[in-house]
Structure 1
Amino acid sequence: MRLWREVRYLLVVLPASIATLVFLPLLAAGLVSTGVGGLGLVVVPRMMTALRRWAEWHRRRAASLLGVMISEREARLPKGLRAQWRRVTDDPEYRRDLRWTLRNIATGVPAGLAALTVIGLVVTPVVEAPLWWLFPAEDPLRLFVVVPVTGWAGAFWLGAAQVAMAVPLTWWAVPRLARLHARGCLSALEPSPAERLAERVGELTESRAGVLDAHDAELRRIERDLHDGTQARLVAIALRLGVAREALPEDAGLLAQLLREAHEGTEEAMAELREVIRTMYPPILADRGLPGALTAVAARAGVPVEVTLDGLGHIPAAVEAASYFIVAESVTNITKHSGAARATVRLTRRDDTLVIEITDDGRGGIDESRGTGVMGIRKRTAAFDGVVRVHSPVGGPTAITVELPCAS
């Protein structure tokens, strides 16, 4: 019977909430022992794990009452005290457990007492009314809390009247109390909409980083295949065609013309293939790394470019490639459009962010609405949730700052 499930739920909630109340001073004692004797370093993480299991038991009961599906939360500690404390302090689930503890005490005890009172209004006349004569005359049985029972007629009619009034009250109040408490339990242990959004953003960020890494690895594989396979075959074909042209007599006529066109077409295809390979994943980046690749970009520029790299450490390959293309595009723009006499490129690492600063002393006045190369930089940066800031007043100088997340 559904009402019985709700009655049983509330009757268990009352002693369980009182037991939860005991946990708070125990946890406080564990925290104090951390500074006094160090015992809390071992005890507190295990107390929090025990609280997690206790909260999960309540959470399963609440979900069962409401008929909703929930996912199990992990209740195991990692190995090592440092890892255990990091888990306890960094995991938002433990903060939700503490939040639930306070809420369970604040709502469970009143809900349990209210349910016990309402149920008592039904049980009391059924059990005690027939035994009214056992009560002393100076302290008789009282129904409706205040009306004394002094005879069988009063016991029967007053008991029947109290049951008739208490049963509908129980039928109405107990399910609402049980469901209200169950919903409060689940809401305290479930992440808020803002927390769900933050967790989802974190998951998407992590999955996107994996996709970018996989995409980068695939581009490198294709670049190697094209460079070592297709391009090598084209070179061999071009060489054979060149040898064939040299071997033909000058009066070969149409055959000589066809060989010449085939040879020139092969060389054009090789040039286009090299350009495709360079734009997919620059071979120089794979061969010389980011410092060597940026130095090469600066050496090929039409203006003097000073490159400074400051404590970059390990940078994911996808971010390295994006950094190379951003710097190459910026230096190309400076050479073609700025009229600058010199430029500087500086890459620094700030925690988990790679900062690229590109400045020049040119005429400035960048107008992104006209389709400048800055739009390409912004699109490439947006793939990493990066930030691009452009400061380019008319008359210069121009400064472009790009921030790329590079946590590996």
Structure 2
Amino acid sequence: MPATAGATSGRRWVQVRRSGVYLLGRLATGVVTLLALPLLCYPRYARRWANRHRDRAGRLLGTPVAARPEVGVAGRPWADAATPRDLLWLPVNAVLGVTLGLLVLLCVGNLLPAAVATPLWWAFAPADRPRLFIDVPVNDWTTALTLGPLQLLLLTASAYAGFPAIARTHARICLKALSPSANEQLTDRVAVLTRTRAEVLDAHGAELRRIERDLHDGTQARLVAIAMRLAVARQAFADDPRDEQFVAGLLREAHESAEAAMTELREVIRTVYPPILADRGLAGALTAVTTQCGVPTRLDLGDLGRVPAAVEAVVYFAVAEALTNVAKHSHATSAVVRARRTVAGLSVMITDDGTGGADERLGTGLAGIRRRVLALDGVVDVDSPAGGPTIITLELPCG
């Protein structure tokens, strides 16, 4: 029990420190906003400034914040629907950030005089003696040993109780002020669905053409060769039933070609819906994928429950593609795949300790992963700074 209490207290102090740093940072950005207000009123700069605050607020709250693009209306930045919110955030941040930041600065700034006044008040000249509770001079040990610890206790308790709550309040106000309205969310959603629908149709057409090409150039060609060999064998047997060696050779070649055709056909079927999913389920399929990865990979599975077949296929292909990238490009020494069932659906995270720098534009398969996930109304987040680590998070609905 004491160990648990100590761990809880330790986590709380970490929150206090993070919250204090966050609020002091908002004080700094509030001052910068006031000084650079004319420049920040330009929509493109206002968007970048607002995005910076959204990212910090999301990290403090532990809430994923979807990235917002640059002001995208070519030649008409004022026509962007989010521009009014970005501009409104400027005075809100200036007032709110400076006010709350000054409270933190006042609290932290008065901790130092209390810490110094308690043991060292006598080292100062009478005119320069430290003061407690703003204007109480410390001229004797009685004052130092009573008011000093009392000020330390009160300010420390205020920081412990207040900093996290104040920081969360600021972060929530930030996200609320910069969040789109219901109509804007609906418009954005329609745009995303329109784009993903077009991408899915293109991908579906390309996949059908690939399957048709594989069947035509591979399996169909082998079946034609088998038919021709069987026809020659049949004719040879009819012409001379005693020529068993020639007929046996044709039948052997036909048998080998049939086995090769079956192998190719299974490979085509596997790319449509992997049989391992039907045989062993998502957990078994992920186990097989991680075991076969060229980099040591740990699989951490929660209780996945019942997952729709379409979601299983997307997760399987996404994890397989991500681990292929890890083995080929990341120079990683280890990777982790975590899958959890959440209230909203299925959450999958693929992490590696490689060099990072993964970019969808370089053709590393990330674009294909995103396309598959978006087709099911899911969300993909790729965090891959230079130097690593790379974290790919998939959120898929399972309703």
TM-score (norm 2): 0.39
Larger Rg: 1
> What TM-score results when the alignment is normalised by the length of structure 1?
0.38
